[in-house]
Copies of this chain bind each other. A is one copy, B any other.
Amino acid sequence: MVEKPSRRDQILNAAAELFARHGFHGVGIDDIGAAVGISGPALYRHFRSKDAMLGEMLTSISERLLDGGQSRVDAASDAEEALRELVGWHVDFALDDPALITVQMRNLANLTDPDRRRVRALQRRYVEVWVETIRRTVPGFDEPTARAAAHAVFGLINSTPHSAHLDRDQMAALLSRMALASLTPAVVAS
């Protein structure tokens, strides 16, 4: 017996899909309602506002990313394995929830100020996990360079919603190999 998702989650999923495709301001309240079979204002029984939907969506994504990444790193026995796990984790996330990844990349600017602060704080911590792991495997990187490299790898992996013409496993393998190759000690040479 499958446990059906709560109405809140149905709405959040539908909204994520729409936000990813048309952008936050390109989607109306009525569109979101229609996507879950109810109409317009009924959403206000579940969320305080449209902004609140985006806020909850982005904070939950950021938390999931951080928690998953942190625990994978903690479970790894050496630095190389930690990096492989981190890459695999992010690749899986991007492939399984392309809409969420897209929204997280594009719609930070549409958040309320307090929400944006919260999300950015979580994102920063996630980046730090990557920075530390990268620096442990590629000792030549100084901190700012490692941070830039982390952002670049995010861009590489997060690009998957825009191509998607490979099947999931091939895509996962390709992205993982590309990501790891771009983080080898060879690239650090001046």
Contacts and interface: CB of A to CB of B under 8 A. Distances in A.
Contact of A23 (B25, B175, B189): B25
A151 B24 CA distance: 24
A54 B156 CA distance: 26
> How many monomers of this chain does the complex have?
2
A2 B43 CA distance: 56
A179 interface: yes
Interface in A156-190: 156-160, 162-163, 165-166, 170-171, 173-175, 177-179, 181-184, 186-187, 189-190
Nearest to A141: B174
Interface residues of A, number: 45
Interface stretch (A6-14, A34-42, A70-78, A142-150): A142-150
A21 B31 CA distance: 25
B178 A186 contact: no
B182 A109 contact: no
A109 B22 contact: yes
A86 to B, nearest CB: 16
A171 to B, nearest CB: 6
A22 B116 CA distance: 13
A156 B174 contact: no
Nearest to A188: B177
A112 interface: no
Contacts of A177: 186-187, 189
Interface of A: 21-26, 106-107, 109-110, 144-145, 147-149, 151-160, 162-163, 165-166, 170-171, 173-175, 177-179, 181-184, 186-187, 189-190
18 contacts: A23-B107, A23-B109, A23-B110, A25-B25, A145-B170, A145-B174, A148-B166, A148-B174, A149-B178, A151-B159, A152-B159, A152-B174, A152-B175, A153-B156, A155-B155, A174-B187, A178-B187, A181-B181
